Structure 1
């Protein structure tokens, strides 16, 4: 008996380690796409207002594929889902190279659509990690999985700098080619995963009646978790997406913009190694509140000025706020769902996150081209206040029930 338990523990550890490796490698293109989307878009776009369109299309594609991808994983398993995501990212990178060689803005948007679908797929690594560990370890598993994105934060901008001129004199084409190579490499840890189930639904007790999705979404804790996750992600995208364009417009170089994005992504993922412990000690609600407060301060610093220090501090606080808000909300959602509800509700959750992120990306492009960087930052504050209102509503609802 002890041998079988030990074997299960070893299998859990191996699967969890492979998930961390896969997430770290396949997440590396994410910070690259933050830089590439705006700069390559500005180079090829027929109008200034369309410069961030590739990033917006990337978000839109993620919104449209979030629920189908979750259902696909529910039926066929996480492993096949992640392999599909890696293949899609590789195709997207190849399309990006083609777009720059032939100066085709519309295939560049198609490339970012493919990579947006892939990135939304990789977002399910956090749920996969929670499923392969014990219940007591789930907050830390989610946190550590997002923390493995720190590798992406460190490698992504470096890969961008060293690969962007690989196909010189065609700027940025080499970076898209690097995304294809990274996606293929990242598929190897996924191939090694030893998950026993063919699909998540196999874990479900078929004799139990499954609650309708609408009923689950109306639960105060589930609704609040999805609202806070969506707004944390949306505000992050709103300020992050136009940052490279704003910085170049203020006279800074693309290398300086890349370094700001690097520290932003580090701030997104580095705290994850202790965020899970903080959630276990203080609860999801308090950690989400701290994250939302940091998002407000980030916007205020962006409003205060356009010095290089303002960009650094604002984007670092933006990353920290996203980390606390998003991980806290993810854990709140996970602890309020039954196994039979997860694949569909997680898909709805990530669809709403992608929808808000898409609107934020489109909105940031309009605001930065028609108004200013300050207008983008001002818009973030009322969004955060909506999330705060959701948390207050949940707290009052819990007190009234008690």
Structure 2
């Protein structure tokens, strides 16, 4: 492999900083998640309001992702990510305060700030891609996505001791996980602020400019602010956005409704937890391998593979109500999402000049959040009308459409040759 303009030691330090910060942040997000609907129902005085803070969180993420991405193009990735983590600290503290004073509106405000935080921090994977040469970008993205596994394990483990800690201090026990979230996110903020130097955006300019679909090479005097019309005409950008959005939509459609589907087939909480755990493992557990596969075989190939796995999950989910069968189907659902998400993220980075990446990647996060919201809202209506079969048919249909689009794009734009020695 050819030498890169960024020393390996520096790349490892910056990627390690992003991995550690994202691990802390994911744990902070998950630690209080089980309590959110319970607290919302208590503060709002009605079970019908239990899901509102989660909806506000999703709205905050969708609304903030693009402006924060735009900011990263102007000021750099470090200031944008640091601001995102700072918003997370503020969101946790506002939620903690709202619980103490019994304010439902304040609790929703805290959720909205936490959502805005996610609109920025989810873009950490793109910052990791910028410090690596093109043939290793997907592997870097996969590593940051794998940080979700660390958070998924650590977050639930933090909840019980944080509740006990708050109780011993004479505070409302339910504030404990939010205090822990503020602490963890604050540590992530400090890591980014102090150690993410030099800024990944500046390092990204040292590599050859993106050559996919006419992206302007970085640092060559070309217009660094290409209009949206020009950017969205690039096949690589369009396929990347569609891959991430469809993957998120299909995953949300099936995953959100599966616990209710299992409940109607007389499964208990333990069985449902095992199935969701298998799904989480599929989403995050193999991310390092996925990144290597994308670098080895190309993003388009892995989008096709991911969509195929999503379709397989859609077909198999309604065939049996057994726990083991559903665990396998939901594992495949998570794995298909993982392939589409990492391959789409890699393809998007490769299809953009450095100066374009922040705002377009912010748009991608907004679209992913919207897809997640549509999936969550639509799956219940579809399930009530046609049970699990209808949900699975729709998810399979979207997956097959993604396969067709990816194959069409791959035929018109052949994937680059596999990278040797990876």
TM-score of the superposition, structure 2-length normalised? 0.80
Tell me by how many angstroms 1:245 deviates: 6.2
- 1:184 maps to 2:199: no
Tell me by how many angstroms 1:335 deviates: 1.6
Q: Quick one: distance in 2 between partners of 1:201 and 1:220? A: 26
Q: SS at 1:148's partner residue? A: helix
Tell me by how many angstroms 1:184 deviates: 1.6
Q: Quick one: distance in 2 between partners of 1:359 and 1:318? A: 18
Q: Quick one: distance in 2 between partners of 1:156 and 1:132? A: 28
- 1:120 maps to 2:134: no
The 1:147/1:75 distance shift into structure 2, 3 A limit, reads same
Residue 174 of structure 1 is matched in structure 2 by 176
Residues 236, 319 of structure 1: 8 Å contact kept: yes
Residue 205 of structure 1 is matched in structure 2 by 219
Structure 1 runs not aligned, ≥5 long: none
Tell me by how many angstroms 1:20 deviates: 1.4
Tell me by how many angstroms 1:127 deviates: 0.9
Structure 2 runs not aligned, ≥5 long: 206-217, 415-422
Bigger mean CA offset, 14-23 vs 52-61: 52-61
Q: Quick one: distance in 1 between partners of 2:113 and 2:55? A: 12
Residue 356 of structure 2 is matched in structure 1 by 341
Q: Quick one: distance in 1 between partners of 2:145 and 2:16? A: 13
Cα RMSD, aligned residues only: 3.5
Residues 200, 343 of structure 1: 8 Å contact kept: no
Residue 107 of structure 1 is matched in structure 2 by 106
Residues 41, 48 of structure 2: 8 Å contact kept: no
Residues 291, 323 of structure 1: 8 Å contact kept: yes
- 1:15 maps to 2:7: no
Tell me by how many angstroms 1:18 deviates: 1.0
Tell me by how many angstroms 1:66 deviates: 0.9
Residues 291, 320 of structure 1: 8 Å contact kept: yes
TM-score of the superposition, structure 1-length normalised? 0.84
Residues 299, 346 of structure 2: 8 Å contact kept: yes
Tell me by how many angstroms 1:55 deviates: 2.4
The 1:152/1:63 distance shift into structure 2, 3 A limit, reads same
Residues 27, 122 of structure 1: 8 Å contact kept: no
Bigger mean CA offset, 17-26 vs 196-205: 196-205
Residue 197 of structure 2 is matched in structure 1 by 195
Q: SS at 1:195's partner residue? A: coil
* Alignment deviations for residues 93-145 of structure 1 (CA, whole Å, 9 cap, x no partner): 23333444555444333222222221221111111111122333212111222
Residues 130, 203 of structure 2: 8 Å contact kept: no
Q: SS at 1:27's partner residue? A: helix
Tell me by how many angstroms 1:199 deviates: 6.2
